[in-house]
Amino acid sequence: MVVLALVPVGYSYGRAMMRPSSVPLGVRSVEWLRASGFAWLVNGSERIYYTWKAPKQGGPALAALPAVGTGRAAPRPHLAPHSRQGTAPTFLPPPIRALIRPRLPGEGVWHVTTGNAGAAPALLETTFRPDPTYPRFVAYVAWINHARTEIALNPGRYEPPSGSPRGLMQVPFGLRARLLATFNSGFTWRDGHGGFVAGGRTYEPLRSGLATLIAYRDGSVNIVTWNGGPTPGPAVLHARQNLPLIVDHGHLTPHLSSGPEWGATLGNAIRVWRSGVGIDRHGNLVYAAADYQTVTSLAQILVHAGAVRAMELDINAEWPSFNSYGRRGGGDPRQLVPNTQQSATRYLVPDDRDFFAVYRRVAP
């Protein structure tokens, strides 16, 4: 009887493992457990593991930080010269203030990425140590110049779960000549129940009260609490929701200590890899990812990097990715986030999860 009872379980597992996928077998096995009614087991095991693995405070400071970009520092003026003839000057962010002294070489200094030069770079990257209590933690941060870029949201192989067409599930070949970067999206729909709009098509209805990254048809972007209906108006080209805002008006939101709002997986206080995206007061996006972070500490990283509103994206070591490209066509891919379970070519081939792509804006 036991053997007979296990037959459908084995069939379900085998079928899931035979499906095309961009992630390792172990990760797929865990995802199958979640989807098969064993989320309680996975969540409990993860809580025990990460609690046991929780880092101790203090310890020796780092001697150096990982290199990012080309190693060439970005222009220092806060207001860069005109990026194109006839356009207004472009804001450039100041270096991120060091929280641990002495400052390490290059810490908080914005660096341009390969193939992305000029007086008003479209994409900048940096690293800094975000917490004096844990001097070995490193935050990886990217700044995306809205005046020189366009943001696109792309469906993955299995996310969002409903809707068609899915497209190529990777960066479209016809757009790779303008490709600057790609980065991970939010929770799966099963875990976050967030709305999803790509190319003006609603795959999952938007929900009021959730943090929403919106890309408009005029090229501008924003991060807001969505208070509209399930389908946005024609001005919205892309929209991705994930949980409530974690930063608003430049301050941490008051509900960060409420664990259930941050997903059944690990809640708000377990220290794991977390990623998030914010918007600064000039309308530029700020992406951040770091290991051993709570929701609160992630929000603090984004505020320190200049975000006035921000949302959490995906968590756990498998999922945070930010890749930049040094040559046209997606050539010379480089990881900002040191994700050992994903490669720098992620999103240049079909991927299971949805993702964002950053393109160089076409001159009018």
| Tens of pLDDT, residues 124-162 | 999 999 999 999 999 999 999 999 999 999 999 999 998
Q: Do 325 and 177 form a contact (C-beta atoms < 8 A)?
A: no
- Count of all residues that appear for the chain in the document: 364
Between 180 and 116, the higher pLDDT residue: 180
Between 110 and 81, the higher pLDDT residue: 110
Domain ranges of the chain: 1-53, 65-364
Identify the band that residue 86 occupies on the pLDDT scale cut at 50, 70 and 90: very low
| Tens of pLDDT, residues 262-307 | 544 555 667 889 999 999 999 999 999 999 999 999 999 999 999 9
Q: Do 189 and 205 form a contact (C-beta atoms < 8 A)?
A: no
Between 15 and 294, the higher pLDDT residue: 294
Average pLDDT over residues 86-111: 85
Residue 343's CB is within 10 A of a number of other CB atoms, namely 15
Confidence at residue 85, expressed as pLDDT on a 0 to 100 scale: 42
Report which DSSP code applies to 131: -
Which residues neighbour 304 within 8 Å (Cβ) at sequence distance 6 or greater?
96, 97, 99, 128, 130
Average pLDDT of the chain, as a whole number: 85
Q: Please classify residue 234 by burial: count the beta carbons closer than 10 Å to its beta carbon, then call 0-12 exposed, 13-18 middle and 19+ buried.
A: exposed
Name the amino acid, one letter, at 270.
I
- Comparing CA positions, the residue from 217, 175, 183 lying closest to residue 199 is 217
Report which DSSP code applies to 49: H
Assess whether pLDDT exceeds 50 at residue 115.
yes
Residue 338's CB is within 10 A of a number of other CB atoms, namely 13
Assess whether pLDDT exceeds 80 at residue 57.
yes
- Long-range interactions of 3-12: CB distance < 8 A, separation 24+: 9/36, 12/36
Assess whether pLDDT exceeds 60 at residue 347.
yes
Name the amino acid, one letter, at 6.
L
Average pLDDT over residues 18-40: 71
Confidence at residue 77, expressed as pLDDT on a 0 to 100 scale: 52
- Comparing CA positions, the residue from 290, 243, 276, 18 lying closest to residue 127 is 290
Which of 44-48, 209-213, 338-342 is predicted with the least confidence, judged by mean pLDDT? 44-48
pTM score, whole prediction: 0.91
Assess whether pLDDT exceeds 80 at residue 4.
no
